[in-house]
């Protein structure tokens, strides 16, 4: 057999074998730790979508490794920062379900509260500028419950003080929302509905700065409905708590 033919055949086999090896797949040689470190650096630099890709690769390749829980926590944060609230919440709920005793569960509930707040972000910005009352800040209410769970279950958590502040802010936001709905009903002559919204604010948001306005709406609504006794009783409460009020 011709020696040149043998040489060419061997060269072809070598090239074929080389072509079969992936050139640009670092995960084939990287360890879990090195893959995670690369993803973490990208995450720390604020490249959240790229970090999601890299963290997802680590989770897919090493789903049961020692870094699995930390990767899941980082994915929650990355999805939140990238604005993908549904995926952040899905990751949070999955983590809580599978790791009910994890030492960083306080952080997970904190992120759940933040994510639910972000879910209603557009509604919060628009609620006072849109002439409708069929909005419901359900995710904001859920955020309040998330922060409440954090504060009650993990009172020593480093996230507890911030959670308390956010709970107060949420209460004021919800009171303002209820007030905007009451105004909506007043302008449309739905006085009973307006009075009930005002009453709800007085009963559930007693430390809110919107109490005075809620009482005003109740007085005016009861007057329109001809409910004299309720009107007079509510007016007395208004003047007792806000003696400088000159609405009526």
Domain spans in the chain, listed from the N-terminal domain onward: 34-99
Reference 98, options 130, 76, 122; nearest CA is 76
Residue that is written with structure tokens 């009973």 in the block: 192
pLDDT tens, residue order, the chain (248 aa): 444 444 444 344 444 444 444 444 444 446 989 999 999 999 999 999 999 999 999 999 999 888 999 999 999 999 999 999 999 999 999 999 999 999 999 999 999 999 999 988 755 555 455 444 446 789 999 999 999 999 999 999 999 999 999 999 999 989 999 999 999 999 999 999 999 999 999 999 988 899 999 999 999 999 999 999 999 999 999 999 999 998 88
User: What pLDDT is stored for residue 122 in this prediction?
Assistant: 55
CATH T-level assignment (fold) for domain 34-99? 1.25.40
Tell me the torsion sign for CA atoms 87, 114, 72, 95. Answer: negative
pLDDT at 135: 64
In the numeric block, which tokens belong to residue 18? Answer: 């080389």
């Amino acid at each position: 057999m011709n020696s040149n033919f043998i040489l060419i055949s061997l060269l072809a086999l070598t090239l074929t074998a080389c072509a079969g090896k992936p050139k640009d797949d670092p995960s084939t040689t990287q360890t879990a730790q090195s893959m995670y470190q690369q993803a973490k650096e990208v995450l720390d630099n604020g490249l959240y979508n790229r970090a999601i890709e890299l963290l997802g690769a680590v989770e897919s390749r090493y789903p049961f490794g020692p870094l699995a829980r930390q990767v899941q926590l980082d994915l929650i944060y990355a999805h939140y920062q990238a604005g993908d609230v549904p995926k952040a919440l899905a990751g949070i709920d999955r983590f809580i379900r599978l790791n009910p005793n994890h030492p960083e569960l306080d952080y997970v509930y904190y992120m759940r509260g933040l994510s639910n707040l972000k879910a209603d972000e557009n509604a919060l910005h628009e609620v006072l500028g849109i002439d409708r009352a069929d909005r419901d800040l359900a995710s904001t209410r859920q955020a309040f419950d998330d922060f409440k769970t954090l504060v009650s279950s993990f009172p020593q958590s480093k996230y507890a003080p911030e959670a308390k502040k956010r709970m107060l802010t949420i209460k004021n936001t919800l009171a303002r929302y209820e007030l905007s709905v009451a105004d909506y009903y007043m302008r449309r002559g739905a006085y009973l509905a307006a009075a009930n919204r005002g009453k709800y604010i007085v009963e559930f948001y007693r430390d809110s700065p919107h109490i005075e306005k809620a009482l005003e709406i109740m007085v005016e609504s009861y007057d329109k409905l001809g409910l004299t006794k309720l009107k007079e009783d509510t007016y007395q409460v208004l003047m007792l708590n806000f003696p400088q009020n000159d609405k009526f």
